A = this chain, B = another copy of it.
């Protein structure tokens, strides 16, 4: 996916951004991003559920509880994860330095890190980079910020939408990063979304959680959950201040927010490490959400399904074997239907009579693949998005030190 030009990302009044090359890990690479949030904005966040959450995640979560944030300080090249007490102190030093320069409290800085796990954070280059990042803050620098948070990403990831609420054009704009170690659990590997609407803190949390559950929490590259995942939503209130939404307005905003989050999540899958296919797995008519997700993720994370996708092999036996081991209780196979694109593979639990290898092959030759499973036993549905498992995925991860 080509990144959107700067002008396509809707301006969110009061949000200023900058990115500098501080040399955390590589020279001449944008690796320190600063985002300024206006006073009185409300901020919501969801963070990784990994028990080993990184030092910056612990601090960001704590700071978010005690004060309204004014700055997000994000470095790449080092995750500051698995670094113990020293890692916490390093992250706090960065917050303190930023707070001094901006004349705010250290608790108003939320730190985020991404990169190699288990090495001490190089604090000095970050401290040297902060004044430069501060003086470079500018409204509209979305592309630089999206570029500055990349690690193994090959493309900056931006998404933006305007939506009319009570006759006013409301902007929602966001950036994200992520390409591997992707199975977010309540959050993804760094996403930052902004709106110029004012929204109550309590309401903001619910809105974010709902949109994340339908976007970042429905993608998987390799089933591996990062120690540093976070997704933040900022409502600046520069446009209008909504203490409470009306139902219809809330639904409109929720949908637009989900659209932006989903576009960012899709950009992560399209940039999946070594990925050559964009794969949508939809499971319909399950008894409950849990069983739909179990079937969808079993398919989406099966190495055998993923290598068949890479080979463009319409190897439906592997899809069927994955469905069969997903743990569906009292599975009545005679109600099962499986589609590859618009080609029926399995009907009533058996190979569809009109299926031909040529029809399956035509679907598998596409860059975007749709796998649909109809369990025929309930009314729930879930969709997850994934990539294939290629030689390049192995090459990248045998070379790169997470």
Contact = CB atoms under 8 A, between A and B. Distances in A.
Interface of chain A: mostly helix, strand, loop or mixed: loop
Contacts of A81: 317, 320-321
Contact of A321 (B225, B316, B328, B391): B225
A199 B87 CA distance: 61
Contacts of A304: 180-181, 222, 224, 397, 402
A125 interface: no
Contacts of A285: none
Interface string A328-362: 10010100000000000010011100000000000
A313 interface: yes
Copies of this chain in its oligomeric complex: 2
A399 B311 contact: yes
A399 B308 CA distance: 8
Interface stretch (A44-52, A93-101, A167-175): A44-52
Contact of A320 (B52, B181, B321, B333): B52
Contact of A118 (B302, B317, B331): B317
Contacts of A331: 51
Sorted nearest first, the 7 A-B pairs with minimum C-beta distance are: A117-B317, A52-B324, A311-B398, A84-B350, A307-B397, A225-B325, A50-B324
21 contacts: A51-B324, A51-B331, A81-B317, A82-B320, A83-B351, A84-B350, A117-B317, A118-B316, A181-B321, A185-B325, A222-B302, A223-B301, A223-B303, A224-B303, A304-B397, A307-B398, A308-B398, A308-B402, A321-B402, A389-B394, A391-B395
Given A82-B317, A118-B351, A222-B303, 4 more contacts: A52-B323, A81-B320, A118-B317, A391-B394
